[in-house]
Amino acid sequence: MTKSPIQSANEGKPMSQQELRALIAAADDAINREDFDALMAFYADDATLVVKPGMLAQGKAQIRQAFEAIAAYFNHSLRVSQGEMTIIEAGDTALVISRTLLSAHAKTDSPFAMERAATYVFRKDAAGAWRCAVDNSYGTELLMPG
């Protein structure tokens, strides 16, 4: 039987996929604990975070400030986790498409819960460690008219 030259999205490099899944889970945990020092290790130095449509934070200093503001906005009750996830790798770059689950039980105006189809881009740094280069929890929502 001849193997198809086309791989399914979850075939291929299971160790890298496990590493990326573990890294994302650790980042979610850091967000949930508001451990922004630990969270910054997750990002590339020149990373971009989509704070909300039309607003980007670029570089670790801005990303940290954005997460501090987000935590305050959600009255320090934001909880982030990932659901189903697909990882597509090409060399030292990986695209992660994930169902991101967000909730905040103590948001000032009302409790908050939602699910997003997030997209993340990772690349390996000089030491071979995966770092998030683009953190877009809004995914394709950025294409929706404003």
- Does 4 map to a domain? no
Domain residues for the domain of 92 are 14-140
**Could you tell me the pTM of the whole model?**
0.86
Strand partners, 49: 57, 135
Give 48-57 pLDDT, tens digit per residue.
Answer: 999 999 999 9
pLDDT at site 2: 46
Residue 41 lies in a domain: yes
CATH number, residue 133: 3.10.450.50
The answer to whether position 1 is within a domain reads: no
Mind listing the pLDDT tens digit for each residue in 90-140? 999 999 999 999 998 876 666 678 899 999 999 999 999 999 999 999 999
If you write DSSP's letter for every residue of 80-136 in order, what string do you get?
EEEEEEEEEEETTEEEEEEEEEEEETT-SSS-EEEEEEEEEEEEE-TTS-EEEEEEE
Asked if residue 102 is part of any domain, the answer here is yes
Q: Is residue 2 part of a domain?
A: no
Domain count, the chain: 1
